[in-house]
Structure 1
Amino acid sequence: MSRGHKVWLVIFLLLLVAAGVGLYLYRSGYFVPAPVPPEEQVIAPEITSTAEIEQYTGGKAIPVADPSRTVPPIDPDDHIRGSANAEISMVEYTNVNNPYASLIHADLIKILAANDDVNWVFRQYPRTSNAADLLAAEATECVASVSGNDVFWRYLDALLVRKNFSRETLLSTGIGVGVSRTEFESCLNDGTKRDYVILDKRDAQVKGKIFVTPTFVFIDNRTGETRIAEGLNTSAYFQEIIRVMR
């Protein structure tokens, strides 16, 4: 064997030994990868009035249209308040348990009353790890299934005023707006609406890249243009989005 070949053989053997030692150390736990830092938690301020929302969010730019973020188009099976043929849809993704949903609800009713060309669509976005969120979302879907769209909205109005989402409150509030207790309880007990609730949220995440609740999606039903407003916002901010989209 020539001298050159011997040198390469020695180098090869050294590399082989080094690889073996490295593999041994790795398997024995010597090399421990650095931990992935936890995702930063965004802490929302404790808001108790719309004036505080304005103070917190003042000066926010109007969202631009982003073709890469879409949500399912408005469907007759959606929970629609206002004209089904409205030019602009204001789609609310939230969970009924969300304090902001209760706070802004009356203002959204006023927006609808002031804009004949706008409808309001409610879609589910519960915290799936939270049993109370899921139950409240299922309850609203059961009301829609048992008693129809108009009663769904009356139920939502009444529920958000109470801000109490125990099972008995969910049931008694439904009975108060005319829902049959027997049918309501049967629907809640069989759990058939849970998949629908989860699908609403999944569509928002996958198609709209929505990961914040509440999120409002404004859709121009004439062109398909979509603008997404995430987090806390005032009704005046929403009205400005509507004005820009006209």
Structure 2
Amino acid sequence: MTESWAILNKYKVLAAAFVLIAGSFYMGVLTAKVSVYEKQLGIGNKGNTLGQKVIAADQPTPAPTAPPKDVKVDSVTATDHIRGNKDARIALIEYSDLECPFCKKFHPTAKKVLDTYQNQIVWVYRHFPLSQLHSKAKKEAEATECAAKLAGNDGFWQMMDKIFEVTPSNNGLDLATLPDLAAQVGIDKTAFAACLDSGEMASRVDTQYQSGVNSGVTGTPGNFLLDTKTGRVIEIPGAVPFENINQAIDSMLK
């Protein structure tokens, strides 16, 4: 009787061990499969290349996971800086930071949009410096406003293009070089320096920043497509590829 119980207990122990080993193997396989699925879907990544958030320092804006949504944005006015046909049906309104690497990446994309749609679209640039991340961005924004004061709308865009061209982003531009950059685009260096040093353009930058806040911008670049005919607005945040904007514009022009 004792021997029989001993044999029975022995088999029970072996059976339990087998179940434990088999269960561990199954969980290992399941974990491996989940890991593979995460990589395939791209959900295991903590970073992305689309944009920068306003508050969370050094944390990029999450990639959009849903189709562009309808929102509201301040309409285009005579005080805006525009590039292209001012009477165009579609306005690409960009809230941007001159030291944001994602804004620098998006800059040629916006140019391509303008070149592709020509008279059907106008590009509107508004300042949204992320001072928590880029302490120099606001002064650079003021620099473009000084360029606008001294050389008009063309001067504004030329100065902005130049800053995006030379800055390494992430606070990498030496602010002392701004007067030289202005001179390179044909603006009087002395008058420019006087304007920049006075800080007279700070309030204009602040107003545009607040406009972005009111429109729900939480990171840069903050992009909106406004159909001036219907009033419809589509938000497309981040340094999205041309194809994303292309599809949205085509849907609005139908």
**Pair in the same fold by TM > 0.5:** yes
| Corresponding residue number in structure 2 for 1:232 | 239
TM-score (normalised: structure 1): 0.72
What is the TM-score when the length of structure 2 is the normalising length? 0.70
- The letter for the 1-side match of 2:195 is C
Instruction: Say which is worse superposed, 223-232 or 170-179, in terms of deviation.
Output: 223-232
Deviation track 1:26-56 (CA, whole Å, cap 9, x = no partner) reads xxxxxxxxxxxxxxxxx75358xxxxxxxx9
Deviation of the 1:225 alpha carbon: 0.9
Residue 153 of structure 1, CA deviation? 1.0
**Structure 1 residues 60 and 237, CA gap change in structure 2 (3 angstroms):** farther
Could you say if the C-alpha distance between residues 62 and 244 of structure 1 is closer, same or farther in structure 2, counting changes exceeding 3 Å? farther
Residue 218 (structure 2) pairs with residue 214 (structure 1): no
Match of 1:123 in 2: 126
SS of the equivalent of 1:230 reads: coil
Residue 76 of structure 1 aligns with which residue? 78
Matches within 5 A, 1:11-160: 44-45=47-48, 61-66=66-71, 70-115=72-117, 116-129=119-132, 130-160=134-164
Q: Which runs of 4+ in 1 moved over 2 A?
A: 43-47, 59-62, 128-131
What 5-or-longer segments of structure 1 have no aligned partner? 1-42, 48-55
Cα contact 1:76–1:84 (8 A) shared by 2 = no
**Counterparts of 1:232 and 1:79 in 2: how far apart (Å)?**
20
Q: Deviations over 1:187-223 (max 9, x none)?
A: 11110111110111112112x1111111101100112
Please give the root-mean-square deviation of Cα atoms over the aligned residues, in Å. 2.1
Distance in 2 between residues matched to 1:91 and 1:182, nearest whole Å: 32
In the TM superposition, what whole-angstrom CA distance separates every residue of 1:55-76 from its partner, at most 9, and x where no partner exists?
x95x95431323xxx2221012
Instruction: Give per-residue Cα distances to partners, 1:64-109, cap 9 Å, x unaligned.
Output: 323xxx2221012211000110100001101000111212212221
Structure 1 vs Structure 2: percent identity of aligned residues? 27
* Cα displacement (A) at 1:183: 1.2
